[in-house]
Chain A
Amino acid sequence: MRINTLFYCIWQGFKNIFRNKWFTLASVATISACLFMFGLFYAILANFQYIMKGLEQGVSVTALLEEDITDERTREIGDMIARRSEVQETVYVSADETWEQFAEENFGSTDGFRENPLSDCAHYVIYMNDVSGQQTLVDYLRSIDGVRKVNESALTAQTFVGVNAIIGYVSIGIILILFLVSIFLISNTVTIGIQVRKEEIQIMKYIGATDFFARAPFVIEGMLIGVIGSFIPLIAVYFIYNEAMIYVAGSWEFLSQLLRFLPVDEIFSVLVPVCIGIGVGIGFIGSYTTVRKHLSV
Chain B
Amino acid sequence: MTSLEDKFEESKKLGLQIAKESEDDRLMTLSVGPQHPGSGHFRFIIKVDGDYIVYCDPDPGYVHRGEEKMCEYRNVIQNIPHLERPVIHDSNNITYSYSLAVEELVGIEVPRRAQYIRALASELNRQVYTLYWLAIYGIFLGHSTMFMWPTGDRELLIDLLEVLTGARVTHAYNIPGGVRNDMPDGFKERCLRQVRYLQKRFKEYEDIFYNMPLFRQRTEGVAVLSKEDAIKLGVTGSVVRASGIPYDIRKAEPYDIYNEIDFKVQYMKTGDCFARSYVPFLDMKESCHIIEQLLDKMPQSGEVRAKLQPNPKGPPGEAYRRVESGRGALGYYVVSDGTPKPYRVKISVGSFRNMLALPYLLVGQKMGDMPATYWSLNYWPVEADR
Chain B binds chain A:
no
A interface with B by C-beta (< 8 Å): none
Question: Which B residues are within 8 Å of any A CB, using their own CB?
Answer: none
